[in-house]
Structure formats: C-alpha cells, structure tokens
Structure 1
Amino acid sequence: MAQAWKCSGLRWSADGPVLVWHGGRRTALTWGKRVAFGVAEGGVRTCVGARGHACPTGAAVSGRSTGARCEECARLDRAHSVAADTIADDPRPYRVYLAWFGPGMVKVGITAQERGSARLLEQGAVCFSWLGAGPLMAARRTEELLRAALRVPDRIPYVEKRAVRAVLPEAAADRAVEVAELHARAVALGGWPESLAREPLRVVDHLEVFGLAGLPVAVGEVGELVAGGVVSGELVAAAGPDLHLATGGGVVVLDTRLMSGWELVPAEGSELTVPVRGFKEKAGVQDGLF
C-alpha cells in the first residue's frame, strides 16, 4: 500500500511556492512541474485542529471547506487571529497596505511588519503598496478609515481573483494605476492616527513571481477533493493558495487549502477525476467532471 501524506498547505519562499507536508517535508513547485496525487480510497477528510493543536474529536469536515476545521476548532482559530479584532495588546509594529488583484479589485489590509510581503503573496495580490506603519490598533483604525471613506473592502472572494488572472493588463504601469490612485486619496484623508507613519507609494508587482504572464484562461476550479479522486496537471502558474494546472480539458485552478485534512497518495492516473466548477462568466466553460 502506498504511503499516505497529509498536506499542511502552500507556503511562499524566496524561491517561489512550496507545498508543506506533515512531518516537515517540503516540495518546491516550479513551472512545468507535474502535480499529481490521489485521495486515499475510502478516506474521510478530518479536521486539522487549531493553533498547532490536534482536533480533540478528529471530526469529519466537508470536502468543500477551505479551512478544513470543525466548528469548534474554527472558532478557536478565529478567536486568536489578528483579523478577528480580539487581540489588542500585540506589541509588534504593523503595516497597512493596498493590494490589487485585477481591474476594480483593490482591498485594504494589515500585516505584521516582520512578515514583510508574505501576506500579500499568500493572498495572491498581483501588485501592492504599503500605506503606513505603526502599532496594531493604529493600523486597525487606519484600515477602518479607508474602508469607510474610500469604500475599499478588506477582502475579495478568491473566485473573483481567479477568474481574471489570465486577462490582466500586460504593462506593469497599467496594473499599478488603481493602487496609485487610491494611495493618493488615502494619504490625503484627515483622521489618520498620529502613531501611524505614512509610507510613500512604491508599487511591488508579483506578475512574474506568480507566473501569470501569458497565462491561459482557466476553464474552472476544483470544487472539492473526494475519496478515490485524482488531481493531475502541469503547473503553469501559482498565486496565493492557488495552483493553475494544465490538464487535458484545459487549465484548472486548485486551491491547495482543499488538500488539508485528506490522506493523499501518489496518483495512479493522469486524468483529473475530482469535481470542477466552471467559471460561469466565461464563454465555452465546461462544468462538472473532467
């Protein structure tokens, strides 16, 4: 019987995307690499736990959940996250940023300064600029100021990000326009916390890092993994948690968060046999199974 592995998720290193497995094994991903794995026959997806602790009940979770956590572990994980707004005494400096994912898709967010641009890579930001840096509460107040005054959201659904990656403007200057315009409007606002130092516009572009130049239009995305199912394709791009895989039926996007909680084995076939959702706004989209 083939050895089964459990995936801990996709991480971004200085050299590009890396799949991390339980036990510390890491698989570097490069363009053109074949990504192929199967889900163990008769397997059940189980909760990955929270904050480094195993789920006490080993609860089964939905194949469509990107969090791969049961209700209780999800609550515990959320309660200790910066995004939940429940942590007020974090002494680390934070940065506020504007991130662009495609035309009309700009969001505001915060991240610990020590993390650098890792958060932007994890979210699949095609380009971004810092806005300011300071204490956590000042960063939060600035984020809320921008959301209210400029109507900039703090999150954008991944399905929207995925659908436009192959039709992004070719010129970096064109990709930077919306970030530059919002940056100018943001720094001109009154009401910024005094403890948050504003930062000048410096747009960082991730198009080449993600391999999005010349990317074929994706026909759809993996909806979930299923016991006995196979994922197989050639890696043509990666952004955030997503792998863009060239398959016999076209390019399909795999959100690697769907891999967590399953026992995965080497693929015995070369076909994609898991459910795929078509991008409805695209013409000629295939729906259902490949």
Structure 2
Amino acid sequence: MDWQCTGLRWPEASGGPALGWRKGTRTRASALAYGTEFGLRAAGERRCAGARGHACPLGAVVPAHSTGGRCPECGRLDRAHSVAADTIPDDPRTYRVYLAWFGTGMVKVGITAEGRGAARLREQGAVVFSWLGRGPLMAARRVEELLRAALGVPDRIPYARKRAVRAELPDEAVRAAEVAELYGKAAALEGGGWPEALERLPFEAVDHAGIFGLGAVSAPGRAVTGLADGGTVAGLLVAAAGPDLHLDTGADGVVVLDTRLMTGWTLAAAGADAGVSVPAVALGGGAAQDGLF
C-alpha cells in the first residue's frame, strides 16, 4: 500500500502549511516552505480517500475532478459524523463562534470546536477572523442563526469567490475594520435572542495574510481541475491558503493547485521545471468547485 495524500493541513502548533499523508492507520505530515520548489507526478488511478480515518473498504475509483475525493458510501459516512451537517447535536465539546473575512464584503459566521483553535479558519482560507463567543454546540448554532436572520451574515461563501480576491487585498487595517464593524453589530444583538449559555469573547482581529504568504503574491492565471496518470504539477511555492497551493511556474505564470484534488492518488516527486501537464482552466472560466464554507 502506498502513502495517500490527505490534503493541505494547518497545524496549530507550527502555523505553517503541511501536506498530510496516510498509509493504513499510519499518518505523517510534510511541512512546506514558501520560496522552495514543489513538484508532483500522479500515477495510476485515483482511489477513494476513505472516511473518518478509515480506508475505503472497496478501494473505489473516484473522479479526478472531485474535491471530495470519496466514493458515495464513504461520503455518506463522513457526512453522518459532521458538525456542519447538524448530525451530532449532543456533542459535549465546547464550541466557538467566529467571524471570518475573505475579501471586501465577504464576511461569514461559523463555528468550530474550541480544541481546534484557529486551524479551521486557516483550512477555509480566512484572511482575517475574530472570535465572537464560546459555549455548547447548540448555543453556538443559535448565535450563528441569529446573525444570519438579523444581520444577513452568510454561513457559507463560494470558494471560487474567496480565491478570486486573494491577490487584491486591502490594507490590514481596512480588513480588521470590516470585521470589527460586524462584531459591533453582532454585540448589539445581545439580549435579543443571544443564548445565555454562550459566553461573549472580546474582539481581536487575527490576520493570516502573512501565514498564507499573500503579501506579494501575483494573481493566479490558471487553476488545476484534476490530476491524471503521468501528469505533473510543478513550480515554485509562493503562497498557500485554505486547501490551495500557489505555484509560480515561470513562463506560464502562477497556477493554483487545490490539494483536495491530490487525495487518493499515488504521487511521486517531479522537478520544478516539469511544469503543468494536467487539465487546468483560466480563473474566471467556470471551473467547478465543491463548497468549502
């Protein structure tokens, strides 16, 4: 059995990006550094990534373009244990409600298990965020719904929209101010449906632009839509955000690789000059994207 890539990870301890790998019940991570060469070559067929830490019992082949990377059975198993799908309302863990900013006019509300820290925000590609409150799962859910109903704050933003604005971010102070304004409006709702079980947390804007390497990143011209047997994706790693790697390929400009497309493939190293020989689409050209909150 070969090591299977499990996508991009944002370990809270180190802060920087890492690629996750699994082989049976064994896992490991490969730390990534900006300014270094990155290259891969896919081989064979793409197999289901499994669910909840378990390998797919069928070893099913899955489509190259799917960012889920799971067969229907494993997909159902994964959703059956998903907090986002409201399938475990009696979860005893403490949750945090957050406000996440992805670009001008793009702020969402969401929740994450307190034990995960800011990892969930980095996985979504949130450029700025602030905690709003903490408490039991259902109290956190009620605040999430309150902000949607009273302030029109969404709990999902299409991933293609997040990606499209990363190279044209306003100054850090402007980013923080937009989150602070929404935090103030949310705070004003206390007493009007805010559950007593949810503890209010003070405003503190946490900016991830530096961690993502977005300070001087050029606007990407293309995005990979799927790997293929023998296909390569290679370049200089210049930035990473959410599940995306931004690779400077030289003459072909910056190409984005969604690492969710890597799951289930057998991958080998390729030189940085191997270029991109897998299907890709010009950004804004209608590439299909699964949602990533």
- TM superposition shift of 1:151: 1.2
Distance 2:269 2:215 in 1: 30
1:34-64 alpha-carbon deviations (Å, 9 max, x no partner): 1101011xx1111111112221221111111
Aligned to 2:37: 34
| Contact 2:20 2:28 survives alignment (8 Å) | yes
Asked if 1:202 corresponds to 2:207, the answer is: no
Instruction: Give the letter for the 1:215 counterpart.
Output: V
Asked if 1:88 corresponds to 2:89, the answer is: yes
Asked if 1:258 corresponds to 2:247, the answer is: no
Aligned to 1:233: 235
Distance 1:155 1:251 in 2: 27
| Contact 1:5 1:265 survives alignment (8 Å) | no
| Contact 2:15 2:211 survives alignment (8 Å) | no
Aligned to 1:21: 21
- TM superposition shift of 1:15: 4.4
Distance 2:193 2:200 in 1: 12
- TM superposition shift of 1:4: 5.7
TM-score by structure 1 length? 0.91
Aligned to 1:212: 214
| Contact 2:96 2:114 survives alignment (8 Å) | yes
Unmatched tracts of structure 2, length 5 or more? 286-293
Distance 1:180 1:36 in 2: 40
Q: Which one is further off, 22-31 or 256-265?
A: 22-31
**SS of match in other structure, 1:73:** helix
Aligned to 1:284: none
Q: How does 1:78-117 map to 2 (within 5 A)?
A: 78-117=79-118
Output the aligned Cα RMSD. 1.5
| Contact 1:246 1:252 survives alignment (8 Å) | yes
Distance 1:145 1:12 in 2: 29
Instruction: Give the letter for the 2:223 counterpart.
Output: E
TM-score by structure 2 length? 0.91
Distance 1:58 1:219 in 2: 35
| Contact 1:30 1:235 survives alignment (8 Å) | yes
**SS of match in other structure, 2:165:** helix
| Contact 1:238 1:244 survives alignment (8 Å) | yes
- TM superposition shift of 1:101: 0.5
- TM superposition shift of 1:22: 2.0
Distance 2:15 2:181 in 1: 31
| Contact 2:42 2:231 survives alignment (8 Å) | yes
Unmatched tracts of structure 1, length 5 or more? 282-290
Percent identity, please: 64
Distance 1:15 1:73 in 2: 30
Count matched residues: 276
Distance 1:96 1:258 in 2: 29
